[in-house]
Amino acid sequence: MEIKIPEVGESVREALLAKWFKSNGAAVAKDDPLCEIETDKITLDLNADVAGVLSIAVAEGTTVAVGTVIGSIVEAAASPQAPAIDTSSQLVEKLAEPASSPALRREMLERDISPDEVTGTGKGGRITLDDLFARIEERSKQPPASRPVTPPVKPAVTPAIQEAPASAMLQPAVAAPAPPTVVQEARPTAVRTEDAPLYAAGREERRPMSPIRKRIAERLVAARQQTAMLTTFNEADLTRVKELRGSQREHFMQRHGIALGFMPFFVKACVEALKEFPNVNASIDGDDIVLHNFYDIGIAIGGEKGLVVPVLRNADRMKLYEIEQAIAAFSEKIKTNRLAIADLQGGTFSISNGGVYGSMLSTPILNPPQSAVLGMHAIQDRPVVRDGQIVARPMMYLALSYDHRLIDGREAVGFLKKVKEYIEEPEELLLEG
């Protein structure tokens, strides 16, 4: 049975074969994870559809087109075949690569070290910086007699200090006036120990960007270059939300089997505010403004490969527990590399919670083509004035980044104030589940 790179979305054309979990020729059971692939949108595992012996055809680190056969499973009843070897031009080029980089070759030349003296430990026997420094250290420990001896160069003698011929010693002392003595200031000479490294080993490391990281970088740059992004700020008192969570904690857990967090409150608050400020839920398409009459809310979740934004569909119809359960399901999918392209597509508005990492204040970046994103931050007790008294309250800074081409400052500020009001008075609108 062939193992192919699956189609994971209309816009995905290639994938990086990041890792094989099994070695070539290993026995695998049905549903065993075989390998991890990365696209510019998601990371996912490919599992075995049948039991048998794994035959690997494409090496780790290779980027291949969707539909490419990367290996096969010889089922137990069939005789195992020799593993196919990838002879693509990509691998041939790797084999033809020089044994060291130009910078390392130049460094070896300056130090009079032949590549034959250095044992390469890099991929395919390539010489790394650590290998060069290991050889330098090895040479420094050798006794001087065993080192290559370069014959000293006889210094050139200038006429001013040239030794006089013997015949000149017999001439009278009054022959000619001696030339004036020129005293030159000694110039500092750079002292270089022959085997001292120019820089310490291991200070830098290069690694290629993963497809996901490349895509994130492209989208972040596009958001800056293609929108008129601006951010407005406010802060919310979470006293009532915390009281509701405390009073409903046991009931919520018993009834729905999950703890109630803060995010469902903000999702519901944003949905209600979006209904009052429809431009915040809109997008720009060419010269048109597209008003969305539905509320698909993207929730930014951090994973090992970077930040992804799965989408809550029709969030206006969801109860608090349904939002909490959906977010938990997304988090589990991200951890196990089971997030699908469909989970990430669309979205009319996004929420990012930097508070889980301890962020006090930030300016969240837009997720095009969406026109706005809400940034949540850490909850911290701060002194505020209530009824003429200074009291401590659990406060959170809120940030709304928006595309000023579509959303006026008045609308952005009004939207954020409305979110603040719903969070500070959550009973009427938020306590539905």
| pLDDT of 161 strictly over 50 | no
* Domain residue limits, the chain: 2-94, 98-141, 212-430
- Same fold: 2-94 with 212-430: no
212-430 CATH, one of 3.30.559.10, 3.30.420.40, 3.40.640.10, 3.30.540.10 = 3.30.559.10
- State the CATH class of domain 98-141: few secondary structures
| pLDDT of 193 strictly over 60 | no
Q: Does 404 participate in catalysis according to the annotation? A: yes
Average pLDDT over residues 243-264: 92
158 confidence band (pLDDT: 50, 70, 90): very low
Between 156 and 137, name the one with better pLDDT.
Answer: 137
pLDDT in tens, 61-76: 888 888 999 999 998 6
pLDDT in tens, 13-64: 788 898 999 999 899 999 899 998 888 767 888 999 999 999 999 999 888 8
Average pLDDT over residues 207-228: 82
- Which pLDDT score, from 0 to 100, does residue 94 have? 42
Q: Does 408 participate in catalysis according to the annotation? A: yes
- Which pLDDT score, from 0 to 100, does residue 172 have? 42
Between 225 and 295, name the one with better pLDDT.
Answer: 295
Among the ranges 87-91, 164-168, 401-405, which has the highest mean pLDDT value? 401-405
- Which pLDDT score, from 0 to 100, does residue 14 have? 84
123 confidence band (pLDDT: 50, 70, 90): low
The total of other beta-carbon atoms located within 10 Å of residue 337's CB is 19
360 confidence band (pLDDT: 50, 70, 90): very high
Please name the fold of domain 2-94.
OB fold (Dihydrolipoamide Acetyltransferase, E2P) (2.40.50)
Percent of the chain with pLDDT over 90: 46
Between 248 and 325, name the one with better pLDDT.
Answer: 325
